[in-house]
Amino acid sequence: MTRQIGEAILDLKNVSLSFGGVKALTDISFDIREHEIRAIIGPNGAGKSSMLNVINGVYRPQQGEIVLRGERFSRMNPYKAAKAGISRTFQNIALFKGMSVLDNIMTGRSLKIGSNLLQQAFWWGPARREELAHRAKVEEVIDFLEIQHIRKTPVGRLPYGLQKRVDLGRALAMEPSILLLDEPMAGMNVEEKQDMCRFILDVNDQFGTTIVLIEHDMAVVMDISDRVVVLDYGKKIGDGAPEEVRANPDVISAYLGAGH
Amino acid sequence: MAELLHGAVPETFPRWLLRHALARGGQPAMREKDLGIWQSWTWQQVSDEVRALACGLSELGFKRGDNLAIVGDNRPRMYMMMTAVQCLGGVPLPLYQDAVADELLFVLLDADVRFLFVEDQEQVDKVLEILPQIPDLRRLFYDNPRGMRHYTQPFIHDVRELLAMGRLHDANHPDLLDGEIALGAGDDVSVMLYTSGTTGRPKGVRLTHRAFISAALGGADFDRLTADEEILSYLPMAWVGDHLFSFAQALVTGFTINCPESAETVMSDMREIGPTYYFAPPRVFENLLTQVMIRMEDASAIKQQMFHLFMAVARRCGAEILDGRPVPLGDRLLYALGKVLVYGPLKNVLGMSRIRVAYTAGAAIGPDLFRFYRSIGINLKQLYGQTETCAYVCLQPDGQIRFDSVGKPAPGVEVKIADNGEILVKGPMLLQEYYKRPDATAEAINAEGYFMTGDAGLFDDDGHLKIIDRAKDVGKLANGAMYAPNYIENKLKFFQYIKEAVVFGAGRERVCAFINIDLGAVGNWAERRGIAYSGYTDLAAKAEVYALIQGCLEQVNRELVAEGALADSQIHRFLILHKELDPDDDELTRTRKVRRNFVAEKYAVLIDALYSDKRSQFIETTVKFEDGRQGKVSADLAIQEAKTFAEGGKATR
């Protein structure tokens, strides 16, 4: 039994993004299929993070459109994206350093919390029931990521590799259908990378979450992704299964320089 | 039913379980922290689940006399499985969860294991790796379903499937299990525990219900244990100590066992539970103390002063107060104040506020370490025993505690010393046999029925047993002087900076040593002095670290001289090994005892260098990582000399 990769869940059509005179993305189109692990790779400044920011609505492209589950968005915004089940992690970890791991992951549930401020302040009635249910979900995430021992530790005191794992936990607490990971393995040692790979594969496998991943480590990308899209200077220069991309002469020259 | 409740002492563990289900069905029997919450099972629930497990096993063809191996961390269902197996007259076989596939293979073949219960995917993968070599394996159960969705082999089952199967089977054959339990007798084997294999390959020690029940009752009576005790079950289930405390004693006294959330959370879980009865090898007590001391060094000046002031008071009179001996009023008042300001909060941090009785065993404990815990009011005691004796030979009675002896013979146990100094024991708790090894059984139990422990010891004037060394390890130097290597190594290991030591000297002129530094303690020491290092190998080679270790060795030399008979055993030359001795490289046993001969062979070139005039020696070693890959570590090891002393304490060199 393997997971079934489905139809395209997210389709990007002719997306162009520029900041003043700088063209960050030029006419980029690719799709993301349900339940797959889709990697976006490219040298520094290729536009990878911009691409991710377009997907979850932080940047608005000047041209092109995003089709999410058949619905067209010419203007996505982060709130809409989150409501639609897209969650993400950040290249430079976006966590509250002074708050505990538990509380940080709890923030990932905030969209799903319905009780009002007053109820929450007195921890009364629905607020109480709701918090218990959310806490149970968060505990499942903690168990899944094997971070029980740091549940109550302030995030700022944790080593980098664990902070990244907590960041993933925060994103997972949303129970996303699409998970955007911005360089989840940057700055990690080999062992931490192995752990992170396993968690990414497990998320994909257990919850069927579609994963879009930006990563520098080619070995990791080739190992875990189903399809890879390659950007260079804001243009798409390759798209396909890892083997195809690896054999693509444009990709080779972009990554290794001419003459190889 | 009334008979079960009030009748004679039940003969088997399943019957003890039934008795508790009747007597205190609603009380918690087991707890495990899961998803951040302590989940509990009452005695009635445990009894029901054990029943379902047993019926399920029976349905799948498990028969009287079959062995079922258990591999995993301490979890309630792992303990329940043991009783379930015993219900059917089978033998549970707990194994070390960190054993590599090869070690697992040896035991699975040796014990003809056809049924296996493991914790999770990691353990399943380990079994699948050696599957072709164990053709007799019939069923493999797992407890944690995570990651197991794609394992479709027909012989692999979720334990929940087994439970469901068992409930159905029980409904169809309601009398079957009661009949099976009634068939059980005290002389049936209740568990098989493998010896750690300090000498040669592990042997399966078969212990009966009678043996473990007598040991458990004897100990419970000795320390007046009740059904209200709480213990934390976190030591490997394959260890006889855990089997005695978390399984046998829990079942005979009816107290509650608590399984931690994960190996990393043991400390905080212990604080939450606040056990009243506690058992740990010296290493655990040592790690706890090291953590406390490291945190103290980072505390504010006022706190540090307060800590040191009151620890001095505790050292002076704490142990005496605990033993109920007379102490001057002034000290008593100071101690009472210290209890409020230091000892109480400290015990709370350690999770030891409620401890009534704590035991340590398995290795010698450092006198400072031992005194530290006793002085802050924790009733820490030592016991002595082996796998072959259900870990039940000698116990220290309350109020008669010494750090250098292991107490008096436990109730029902007869201990005598043979002419060669070896300790011999006899009693109901002895092993039945080594599995399929009549030769080894005959060797271990002599004609009069005494078990030969292999330890050398002597009784002191008050009848307390003192262990010196392994009987066969007590050797002689070239000049005929007595030489007890473990004794010296233990002295060395009492320093927080030294994690492991191996000394050589049998049949030689002088004694030399290999040292493993403690990366945590020495690393912290180095950081405070601004010494930069990149890892163990680098730190171990620093001249400053050599000087630090040399200081420790010289103090040991001084102590050895003071003991007269061992003056010739002073350490002359030493080196600090470039890698930590590791069970994965076969240098230590799984219980972390040094395999002396193996180490001597592997590092023969280093020993030669120690006994030459060389100042350094190059060595390259293959190491095995946890995931099974291999790598190489090489270093140029410095060899240093330590000062030795003449009697009277003057340096001879």
Using a CB–CB cutoff of 8 Å, tell me whether B153 touches chain A.
no
Among partner residues B35, B264, B265, which is closest to A139 by beta-carbon distance? B35
**pLDDT band at residue A122 using 50, 70 and 90 as cut-offs:** confident
Mean pLDDT of B65-80: 95
Domain that holds residue B253: 2-278
- Residues in chain A with CB shorter than 8 Å from the CB of B146 are 144, 206
A105 and A30 in a common domain: no
- Contacts with B265 from chain A: Cβ below 8 Å: 148-149
Q: How many angstroms away from the CA of A74 is the closest CA of chain B? A: 39
Please indicate, yes or no, if residue A91 is contained in any of the structural domains. Answer: no
Is there a contact between B509 and B477 (Cβ–Cβ < 8 Å)? yes
For residue A260, pLDDT over 50 is answered with: no
Residue of chain B whose alpha carbon sits nearest to that of A1: B150
- Interface check for B262 against chain A (CB to CB < 8 A): the answer is yes
The predicted-structure confidence for B419-438, as pLDDT tens digits, reads as follows 777 899 999 999 999 999 99
Q: Is the ipTM beyond the 0.90 threshold?
A: no
The percent of residues above 90 in pLDDT, for chain A, comes to 42
Q: What percent of chain B has pLDDT over 90?
A: 63
Q: Which of B32, B33, B34, B35 to mutate to test the interface with A (most CBs of A within 10 A)?
A: B35
Question: Cα B244 to the chain's mean position, in Å?
Answer: 12
Please give the pLDDT value at position B29: 97
**Any chain A CB within 8 A of the CB of B462?**
no
Out of B256, B278, B300, a domain closes at B278
**Domain assignment of residue B420, yes or no:** no
Structural domain ending residue among the three candidates B237, B261, B278? B278
Reply yes or no on whether the pLDDT at B302 is more than 80.
yes
DSSP B523-549: HHHHHHTT---SSHHHHHT-HHHHHHH
How long is chain B?
Answer: 653
| Per-residue tokens: B153 | 């082999």
User: pLDDT band for position A1 (50/70/90)?
Assistant: very low
pLDDT at A181 over 90: yes
Taking only the tens place, the pLDDT of each residue in B489-515 is 888 988 889 999 999 988 888 999 999
Tell me if B268 and A2 make a contact (CB, 8 A cut-off): no
Query: pLDDT higher for B57 or B325?
Result: B57
Q: Are B52 and B44 in contact (CB under 8 A)?
A: no
pLDDT at A221: 87
Give the domain-ending residue among A130, A145, A175: A175
**Residue A165 and residue A190 in one domain:** no
**Which residue shows structure tokens 């019957």?**
B15
B152–A1: do the CB atoms touch at under 8 Å? yes
Inform me whether the C-beta atom of residue A4 falls under 8 Å from chain B C-beta atoms.
no
Full DSSP string of chain A: --PPP-SEEEEEEEEEEEETTEEEEEEEEEEEETT-EEEEE-STTSSHHHHHHHHTTSS--SEEEEEETTEEESS--HHHHHHTTEEE--SS----TTSBHHHHHHHTTGGG--S-HHHHHHT-THHHHHHHHHHHHHHHHHHHTT-GGGTTSBGGGS-HHHHHHHHHHHHHHT--SEEEEESTTTT--HHHHHHHHHHHHHHHHHH--EEEEE-S-HHHHHHH-SEEEEEETTEEEEEE-HHHHHH-HHHHHHHH-TT-
Is A59 part of any domain?
A: yes
Q: Are both A154 and A40 inside the same structural domain? A: no
Shortest distance between the Cα of B146 and any Cα of chain A, in A, equals 9
Going by pLDDT thresholds of 50, 70 and 90, the confidence category of residue B479 is confident
- CA distances to A187, B93, B257, B306, B456 from B47, rounded to whole Å, are 51, 20, 15, 51, 43
Nearest Cα residue in chain A from B269: A149
Residue B629 in contact with partner chain A when CB distance is under 8 A: no
Residue after which a domain boundary falls, among A175, A199, A219: A175
Give the residue on B whose Cα is nearest the Cα of A138: B35
Residue B55 lies in a domain: yes
Is the CB of residue A223 less than 8 Å away from at least one CB of chain B?
no
Does the beta carbon of A205 lie under 8 angstroms from any beta carbon of chain B? yes
Q: Is B171 on the interface with A (CB under 8 A)?
A: no
The alpha-carbon gap from B558 to the nearest alpha carbon of chain A, in Å, equals 43
- Residue B201 sits in a domain whose CATH number is 3.40.50.980
- By CA distance, what is A143's nearest residue in B? B35
Dihedral through CA A32, CA A33, CA A39, CA A43, nearest 10?
A: -30
Q: What is the mean pLDDT of residues B455-477?
A: 81
The count of structural domains within chain A is 2
Return all residues near B112 (Cβ < 8 A) that are at least 6 apart.
Answer: B67, B136
- pLDDT of A259: 42
Q: Looking at chain B, which residue has its C-alpha nearest residue A149?
A: B265
* Residue from the list A1, A148, A152 with its beta carbon closest to the beta carbon of B150: A1
**How confident is the model at residue B116, as a pLDDT?**
96
Does the beta carbon of B268 lie under 8 angstroms from any beta carbon of chain A?
A: yes
Q: Considering only residues 98 to 137 of chain A, which have any Cβ-Cβ distance to chain B shorter than 8 Å?
A: 135-136
Q: What is the pLDDT of residues B90-143, one digit of tens each?
A: 999 999 998 888 889 999 999 999 999 999 999 999 999 999 999 999 999 999
* B251-271 pLDDT per residue, tens: 999 999 999 999 889 989 999
Average pLDDT over residues A192-213: 91
Convert the pLDDT of each residue in B525-558 to its tens digit: 998 899 999 889 899 999 999 999 999 999 999 8
The mean-pLDDT minimum among A238-252, B605-619, B637-651 falls in: B637-651
pLDDT at B339 over 70: yes
Q: Do A140 and B262 touch (CB under 8 A)?
A: no
Q: Of B553, B435, B544, B436, whose CA–CA distance to B493 is shortest?
A: B553
Q: Is B145 on the interface with A (CB under 8 A)?
A: no
Q: Please judge whether B36 and A151 are an interchain contact, meaning their C-beta atoms are less than 8 angstroms apart.
A: yes
How many independent structural domains does chain B possess?
2
A206 chain-B contacts, CB cut-off 8 A: 146-147, 149
pLDDT at residue number B563: 60
Residue B27's DSSP bridge partners are none
Q: For B474, left (φ over 0), alpha (ψ -120 to 50), or beta?
A: beta
Domain assignment of residue A248, given as a range: 1-85+176-260
Closest CA to B361 of B424, B423, B288, B283: B283
Report angle CA B377, B382, B384 to the nearest 5 degrees.
Answer: 170
Of B257, B278, B299, which one is at a domain's C-terminal end?
B278
Overall pTM > 0.90: no
Which residue, chain included where needed, has tokens 């704490």?
B318
Q: What is the pLDDT of residue B402?
A: 82
Is B157 inside any structural domain? Answer: yes
Taking only the tens place, the pLDDT of each residue in B8-40 is 889 999 999 999 999 999 999 999 999 889 999
* pLDDT on residue B1: 56
Q: Using one digit for the tens of pLDDT, what is the confidence trace for A127-168?
A: 888 888 899 999 999 999 999 999 999 999 998 889 999 999
The tokens describing B41, both together, are 């099972």
Name the residue of chain B whose CA is nearest to A3's CA.
B150
Amino acid B263: pLDDT: 87
